[in-house]
Amino acid sequence: MTQATAASDTTGFSTASEYPLRNGGQILVDQIRLHGTKRVFLVPGESYLPCIDALNEHKGAIEPIVCRQESGAGYMAEAYGKLTNEPGVCFVTRGPGATNASIAVHTAYQDSTPMILFIGQVGGDFIEREAFQEIDYRRMFGEMTKWVAQIDDTSRIPEYIARAYQVARSGRPGPVVLALPEDTLWGEAQVADVKPHPRLMTYPGQPQLDELKRLLASAERPFLLVGGSGWTRDAQVALEGFAERFDIPTGVAWRRLECVDAELPQYAGHVGMGMHAELRQQLVESDLVIAVGTRIGEATSEGYSWIQSPVPTQKLVHVYADPEELGRVYQPTLAINTDVNGFALALSTLSPDSAPRWSDITRAARTAYLATLEEQPSPGPLSLDKVSLTVDRILDGKGCITVGAGNYALYAHRYVRFRGLGSSLAPTVGSMGYGLPAAISSKLEFPERPAVCYAGDGCFQMNMQELGVALQYRVGIVVLVFNNGMWGTIRAHQENDFPGREIALTFTNPDFAALVTAYGGLGQVVEKDEDFEASFTRALEFADRERLPALIELRYDPDGIAPGKLLSGIREDALARNATTAQAGV
């Protein structure tokens, strides 16, 4: 039997009357197994106990991962969705559990990740009385989900679950939230399972492909921008083949570094906040941008600067799965409403009629990108540039690197050459605390691959309790904690906007290396360049051998705020700018 048809002992029944009487929890868990879910992330709660009990009937088929806090559970589910293109499933209890998990729902929404959050709810006999932990989830999650609903009838659970999976993964993927009243879960019904709907793939029409080729034929400085979610390996290979045939300079959208293999000869870099000046100038000067799968949001467009809204100066071919996104922010020259996989596979029919005129531009873009891999000067005895260059060399394209939010992530995004799907997990929404849960999820899904978490000292402490998951389930991840004793990104903004007025952004840290030993892991401290490589190698070996977390605390000069940038330099520039403004009488 396939995974989809081996759901439970009820498989093979054809009518509702042939199914056994089941409670709501049993019906629900039968459905999620039927839809292919093999792992669920949860923080237990009495409000959905029938679902927890029903997992007993699916031992060996559905693995429950018991997390320490709902944001960690939600992040793990979101990462699962990114890695598999199937909805990551998370269960939390009502009220506080739901509010804690909301950050992961917001992440899944802005990152276009398929995810389903199940929330326990008070029973129908108590509803609308502001009962214990009661919240109207339809109002709470309405702005950050594709669909939010409450299942008030036990017999309709299969219908709701089938729709949830379909909505979460279709069009622009995203999160679905379903509230589960206690009387729905404890209630019983004799109801048929609803089988999963086949995944729908859409393709561009031939006239659209012809117009794309015509636009390319008339272009002088085209650029291919790749992003979004839902990519398959076959589609990625097809897209990279298109980039090679037409020799188009190609970049990845903000924090979508896994979408293109960095070894592609046409790869030009990471587009968005913090990109290098040559790439930014190339985008400004381009006469045709082919944007595939990306919304070209604020971060990718650097505040809608290099591409203008609503009418770009460049011709724009915008390929996106959601028709409502096409024309919403930018008016495209050619809008193609299709999913990334259907579009990429259709590109195999296109080849240039003559040698591309822009090959010199492509070579220059590639050369400029390779130059960014050269180490930048940094203060102190430990260079974060060297750290990431060493990580890149040792991993050599293997495994997954995860980050949360903070300037420390710029080092991985600049120096690591990501090698395709599953190599990067980074929240485009810029949410902190993501890296550790995401690394755990990656290692659970691909236990044979390294999983390395980059985490700032503040970012790490937002979800460091999930080290308990790594201990409990023997998950051998490696964590690099960037310890500068402050909220670094905010300090950089503070110095830029209010130079010399430092306040409220520093903190005192624990001994991170000692902390991880309490979770059975290996803790190390590195303060000098010459010590990092041996320490990192040791951490990888320990994590692989013991299947437990290894952590390296990186203690470095906090003046090194970003690749090639000093915090003191930001302050000096801001003071000089303010002095010039004052002299001008502005």
pLDDT score for 1: 25
Q: If you search the block for the tokens 């690394």, which residue do you land on?
A: 439
Contacts of 162 (CB under 8 A, 6+ apart): 31, 35, 194, 195, 196, 197
Q: In the chain, what are the domains?
A: 16-189 (3.40.50.970), 206-371 (3.40.50.1220), 384-572 (3.40.50.970)
* Nearest-angstrom CA–CA distance, 505 and 491: 7
Closest-CA residue to 160 (of 171, 172, 148, 169): 148
Answer whether 424's CB lies under 8 Å from 257's CB.
yes
Helix (H) or strand (E) holding 386: helix 384-395
| pLDDT tens, the chain, 586 aa long | 223 333 444 555 667 888 999 999 999 999 999 999 999 999 999 999 999 999 999 999 999 999 999 999 999 999 999 999 999 999 999 999 999 999 999 999 999 999 999 999 977 676 776 766 678 989 989 999 999 999 999 999 999 999 999 999 999 999 999 999 999 999 999 999 999 988 888 999 999 999 999 999 999 999 999 999 999 999 999 999 999 999 999 999 999 999 999 999 999 999 999 899 999 999 999 999 999 999 999 999 999 999 999 999 999 999 999 999 999 999 999 999 999 999 999 999 999 999 999 999 999 999 999 999 999 999 999 999 999 999 999 999 999 999 999 999 999 999 999 999 999 999 999 999 999 999 999 999 999 999 999 999 999 999 999 999 999 999 999 999 999 999 999 999 999 999 999 999 999 999 999 999 999 999 999 999 999 999 999 999 999 999 999 999 999 999 999 999 999 999 999 999 998 888 887 5
- Which two structure tokens, joined as six digits, stand for 372? 């960014």
Give the side-chain half-sphere CA count within 13 A for 84.
Answer: 24
pLDDT score for 2: 29
This prediction's pTM? 0.95
Answer whether 136's CB lies under 8 Å from 108's CB.
no
End-to-end CA distance of the chain: 75
Q: DSSP state, 227?
A: -
* Nearest-angstrom CA–CA distance, 300 and 320: 15
Answer whether 232's CB lies under 8 Å from 341's CB.
yes
pLDDT score for 13: 66
Q: How many degrees, rounded to 5, is the angle at CA 447 between CA 117 and CA 62?
A: 40
Q: How far is the CA of 411 from the CAs of 217, 274, 320, 495, in angstroms?
A: 37, 11, 30, 20
pLDDT score for 492: 94
Answer whether 479's CB lies under 8 Å from 535's CB.
no
Closest-CA residue to 343 (of 198, 205, 218): 205
